[in-house]
Amino acid sequence: MSHSTHDPVNEPRAGPTLCQHESDGIQEYDNPMPLWWSGLFWVTIIFSVGYAMYFSWGVGPSSQQEYQDELGGFYLEQAQKLGDLQPDRATIDSLMHNDKMLKAARGLFLSNCAVCHAADGGGLTGPNLCDGSYLNIKKLEDFYSVISNGVVPKGMPAWDKRFIPAQRVLLAAYVASLRGTTPAAPRAPQGTEVPPWDAK
């Protein structure tokens, strides 16, 4: 006689279909993921491609660069509390001895200048800024005009649209202060040796 008792295991089910394959009499139901679930799965995959492009392949700013920009902005705010910075010898010279201001400038340098001049100023596509020989600089005040106007045909951008004058004065002092430091991989000196800043 057929069993009249309720057999929940072997009773055919409505709903999901049985898969074709079986192994030792074991079969499985085809239970597709709900559409919302697999949709979400694809969305995360597509998102990860954009994310990788933005953050890993240099399309967007790195978190280090964002941090440096922010740090530079913070120190600049502090700096602006001290008033306008004039692009003259006395101001640049005093900034060169002000650690807090040089720190502010370092943030700007790392996020804007290091790509060409190296983080320690040793030079990459741009010249070495540590060696005391310069192509466009004869005296301390020249840093401000070179940074502001650039040497565009030679690949040094002009920064007068990008930075306010106080920032360019800060950068001038920072770059001047690099002189005499020892970069890890210095480019050979270019241009002419210039008398030390404190001469005359």
Residues that bind ligand HEC (CB under 6 A): 112-113, 115-117, 125-127, 134-137, 143, 146-147, 151, 154-157, 159, 171, 175, 191
CA distances from 169 to 3, 126, 146, 175 (A): 95, 20, 11, 10
Residue 18 or 102: the one with the smaller Cβ distance to ligand HEC is 102
User: What is d(CA 150, CA 66) in angstroms, rounded to the nearest whole number?
Assistant: 24
Nearer to ligand HEC, 56 or 190 (CB): 190
Q: Output the smallest distance, CB 148 to ligand HEC, in A.
A: 10
In 3D space, the residue among 158, 156, 141, 40 whose CA is nearest the CA of residue 91 turns out to be 141
Residue closer to ligand HEC by CB (options 14, 91) is: 91
Instruction: Give min distance, CB of 84 to ligand HEC, in A.
Output: 19
> What is the bridge-based pairing of β-strands 26-29 and 18-23?
antiparallel
DSSP string, 137-150: -SSTTHHHHHHHH-
Report the residue number, 98 or 194, with the smaller CB distance to ligand HEC.
194
Residue 115 C-beta: closest distance to ligand HEC, Å:
5
**Identity of the residue, 38 or 125, whose beta carbon is nearer to ligand HEC in the bound complex:** 125
Name the nearest CA neighbour of 127 among 136, 93, 36: 136
* Cα maximum dimension of the chain: 119
Q: How far is the CB of 173 from ligand HEC (least distance, A)?
A: 10
Shortest approach of ligand HEC to residue 182 CB, angstroms?
18
Tell me the one-letter amino acid at 154: K
Tokens of 164: 């306010």
